[in-house]
A = this chain, B = another copy of it.
């Protein structure tokens, strides 16, 4: 497993035609009163790096690109603490990076996303990168590789993410608010965004107080294993 930023151009030139380039896409945004704003980038980058190391049977070299540290978080700006790219900007960033990968000899790009608000852009970028630059692409949200269909996964700054940060960087977790989980507007098969949604839940979902480091470790391990397995498969099918 290789870090793009640590390789020379010669080494990258030799590896890229055969490699999977793995690009973590994160966010820097409010995560309630208790979690650090860098949570999404931390989790996406950690899962991606661990999975690249764990994917020992991947038949292709794995090159981990520098994480995109800020994502599409306009809906959190009102709470403060948020560094957001408009979706138009994030799409331009991902396509410029894809263009670079292709222009430098790469053929396969895997987006590993850590933020719900990036899903639309990642979907578009993976598709357009394929058409415009001739790349074979894959895109996954790391939390969807955990398996098990836990209703707490992923939420936003709720029990899931709080557990994961407790597992990785407990010193960054502040006092967790106590509350009953507020109801979510659930309409199966529909993405619903009432204008007041984030205000209504004070910027985080479910109950952070239910988080534990142990659950975080378990979830992270599952995500890493899930992604590592997919990378091995992608090494064959892309």
Name the CB-closest residue of B to A104. B80
| A205 contacts the other chain (CB 8 A) | no
How far is B34's CA from A33's CA once the two chains are assembled, in angstroms? 45
* Contact between A28 and B131, CB atoms less than 8 A apart: no
A33-B9, A36-B5, A66-B69 given; A191·B139 CB < 8 A: yes
| A81 contacts the other chain (CB 8 A) | yes
* Contact between B32 and A4, CB atoms less than 8 A apart: no
* Contact between B187 and A230, CB atoms less than 8 A apart: yes
| A54 contacts the other chain (CB 8 A) | no
How far is B170's CA from A48's CA once the two chains are assembled, in angstroms? 25
* Contact between B8 and A138, CB atoms less than 8 A apart: no
* Contact between A130 and B8, CB atoms less than 8 A apart: no
Q: A5-B41, A6-B172, A138-B192 are in contact. List 14 more A-B contacts (CB 8 A).
A: A6-B38, A8-B81, A9-B80, A11-B81, A38-B66, A66-B69, A84-B96, A86-B128, A89-B89, A120-B123, A130-B195, A138-B187, A138-B190, A144-B189
* 3 closest A-B pairs by CB: A5-B38, A120-B123, A9-B81
